Homo-oligomer: A and B are copies of this chain.
Amino acid sequence: MNVMVGGTFDPLHAGHRVLLSRSFEIAGREGLVTIGLTSDAFVQKKSHPVRPYDIRREELIIWIESMHFEASYIIECLSDQYGSALNDDFDALVVSEETFPVAGEINRLREEMGRKRVDIYTIRCILADDGKIVSSTRIYRGEIDPDGHLIR
């Protein structure tokens, strides 16, 4: 099936890897995964610095290619929370528990626009060794590494 997933992926941590692996898994052999990657302008709102789009895109492609997933994929630039998820015809959005509210909002807006709602696949939280969630902010602060292992 055709699925959409989005993120900043800086760095590509354990939570992102589960999110993307599941997206490819549910898309299946003949499926397509559309990955929305946030633009540099969009991520200026983040509380910590983010590496440039092209570097994040390259890291993403290198990891995806190393995984030899069966589904096809495209990467599109996300300049807002929604990207093409409001207008495109696809089957399912893949989100984390943290971004689940955005998926509900996308379905509400799609319905208002007369488009069909989409399925929502919510990945469980991926936890670091200390039982707290793996996040880019925690990695930036030097608390954990991208695999969720404690640094201090």
Contacts and interface: CB of A to CB of B under 8 A. Distances in A.
Interface string A118-152: 11111111000000000000000000000000000
**Number of copies of this chain that the complex holds:** 2
A117 B125 CA distance: 8
Main secondary structure of the interface of A (DSSP, over half): mixed
A121 B121 contact: yes
A22 interface: yes
A66 B97 CA distance: 35
A72 to B, nearest CB: 16
**A interface, size bucket:** 10 to 19
B25 A1 contact: yes
A7 interface: no
A116 interface: yes
A120 B116 CA distance: 20
22 contacts: A1-B25, A22-B119, A25-B26, A25-B28, A26-B26, A26-B121, A28-B28, A92-B121, A107-B124, A116-B124, A117-B124, A117-B125, A118-B124, A119-B121, A119-B122, A119-B123, A119-B124, A120-B121, A120-B122, A121-B121, A121-B122, A122-B122
Interface of A: 1, 22, 25-26, 28, 92, 107, 116-125
